[in-house]
Chains A and B, each alone.
Chain A
Amino acid sequence: MNEPGLKDIWVYLSASPLLGLTITLVAYGVAYRLYLKTNSNPLANPVVTSVAMLIIVLLATGTSYGDYFEGGQFVHFLLGPATVALAVPLYQQFSRLRQLWLPVTISLFCGVVIAAGSSIGLARLLGGSTEIQMSLAPKSATAPVAMGISEKIGGLPSLTAVLVVITGITGAVLGTKLFDWIRVRDDTAKGIAMGVAAHGIGTARAFQVSSQMGAFSGLAMALSAFATALLVPWLVDLLEAWIPA
């Protein structure tokens, strides 16, 4: 009775969203504690560790990504309301933003164009297919925005989601070292750069450095989501006209 019972339970669980949702939260909880234990070492970024743990578990149990996502989608869905929620820190930082609106606007415009232009250009130079170039183009924007743009310009939205996460991790891990290296010490400039290049994952990291860096990173992420949505499709057309693939 016992053996088939266990198998029945697995059959039930693997078909229900409960398991996917629960393991996502458990993995993140473990990863987050590990991150705190290492004194917030950027290399132990909780996104990296939890994604690695989950992939290992799914491969070991022979669970497909589709089955996992039945449950994972509930967490993924919250990216939408979280994007809307960015209006709040944006509003709270508005007085600071008003003082710095011109530098912020210039940096943001340049940052968004450089992010998309350099990823398309480099991927093309290194022989990446058009699909890869277009999937990479919006990689610095936050996931829901990047996926929407990727779909519009002929990339693969689900691949873009992955590239967005890897970009965020890269920015969060390298960011503070890079800023030291180029001697940018102003938290405002560091925050803007982090938010433009590495969206929410970079912002989570910026908040650990200082609340000012975090706020400006959040601000840059919100504004660059908007700027990316407006500029990238136009930039792709422009690049297409300049350098035919």
Chain B
Amino acid sequence: MQFLNGITLLLVYQLVGEITVRLLGLPIPGPVLGMVMLFVTLMIRGKAPDSVDQASTALLSHLSLLFVPAGVGMMAHFGRIADEWVPITLALLLSTVITMVATALIMQVTTRWFAKPLTEKEGGDE
């Protein structure tokens, strides 16, 4: 029953998110707004109920599975991918590498800049 309650709650938040996005013409997808609303709710309540925790752990622990049907969609796009495979593969590969390297370095540098007072407070382990 716990799991069922959790899933129901997630779907209710998604539904409210979808409706709000459409009513207000917001530029973000419904599930993302649903996530923000659930996050705000958890902050206000001060704890995540077991039901929501169970349902979210179940869904997120096999997140990769949920991408499989979309990945199989590749077969419907073989033609287009074959036509423009150079820009697609190179742009995708290089851009992913650049994004990962840049973000990791930026995070490392900014953490050192801004989190210094914190490490000093903890005694610092450097």
Residue of B69, B74, B99 with highest tally of chain A CB at under 10 A:
B69
**Cα(A193)–Cα(B93), bound, Å:** 15
Interface residues of B in 30-67 (CB under 8 A from A): 30-32, 34-36, 38-39, 42-43, 48, 52-53, 55-57, 59-60, 62-67
Are B70's CB and A165's CB within 8 A?
yes
Contacting residue for B105 out of A165, A184, A197, CB 8 A: A184
Are B95's CB and A103's CB within 8 A?
no
B interface majority secondary structure: helix
- B93 contact set on A, CB distance < 8 A: 170
Are A226's CB and B63's CB within 8 A?
no
**Cα(A149)–Cα(B113), bound, Å:** 34
Are A230's CB and B68's CB within 8 A?
no
Are B92's CB and A136's CB within 8 A?
yes
Are A103's CB and B118's CB within 8 A?
no
Residue-wise interface mask of A (157-200) relative to B, using a CB-CB cutoff of 8 A (1 in contact, 0 not): 01101111111101100110011001010101110111011101
- B14 contact set on A, CB distance < 8 A: 80-81, 83-84
Least Cβ–Cβ distance between B2 and chain A, in angstroms: 14
Are B67's CB and A233's CB within 8 A?
no
**Cα(A102)–Cα(B114), bound, Å:** 7
Taking CB as reference atom, which chain B residue is nearest A161?
B70
- B31 contact set on A, CB distance < 8 A: 79-81, 83-84, 144-145
Contacting residue for A145 out of B32, B52, B72, CB 8 A: B32
A107-B110, A162-B70, A226-B28 known; A189 and B115 CB under 8 Å?
no
- A33 contact set on B, CB distance < 8 A: none
Taking CB as reference atom, which chain A residue is nearest B45?
A91
- B68 contact set on A, CB distance < 8 A: 24, 27-28, 47, 50-51, 54, 72, 75
Q: Does residue A86 face the partner (Cβ distance < 8 Å to B)?
A: yes
- B67 contact set on A, CB distance < 8 A: 47, 79, 143, 164-165, 168, 200-201
* Chain B residues with a Cβ closer than 8 Å to the other chain, count: 74
Q: Does residue A129 face the partner (Cβ distance < 8 Å to B)?
A: yes
Taking CB as reference atom, which chain B residue is nearest A85?
B56
Least Cβ–Cβ distance between B70 and chain A, in angstroms: 4
Q: Does residue B125 face the partner (Cβ distance < 8 Å to A)?
A: no
**Cα(A119)–Cα(B81), bound, Å:** 16
Are A145's CB and B29's CB within 8 A?
yes
Contacting residue for B64 out of A81, A90, A184, A200, CB 8 A: A200
Are A114's CB and B70's CB within 8 A?
no
A91-B48, A144-B29, A182-B101 known; A203 and B63 CB under 8 Å?
yes
15 A-B pairs within 8 Å (CB atoms) are namely: A45-B64, A47-B68, A83-B14, A84-B17, A86-B60, A94-B43, A114-B103, A139-B95, A144-B31, A167-B92, A170-B93, A171-B96, A178-B104, A193-B100, A226-B32
Interface of A with B (CB < 8 Å)?
24-25, 27-28, 45-47, 50-51, 54-55, 58-59, 65-66, 68-69, 72-73, 75-76, 78-92, 94, 99-100, 102-104, 106-108, 110-111, 114-115, 118-119, 122-123, 126-129, 132, 136, 139-140, 143-145, 147-149, 152, 156, 158-159, 161-168, 170-171, 174-175, 178-179, 182, 184, 186, 188-190, 192-194, 196-198, 200-201, 203-204, 218, 222, 225-226, 229-230, 233
Q: Which 8 A-B pairs have the closest CB atoms?
A: A128-B87, A72-B69, A85-B56, A193-B104, A111-B103, A103-B110, A83-B31, A148-B29
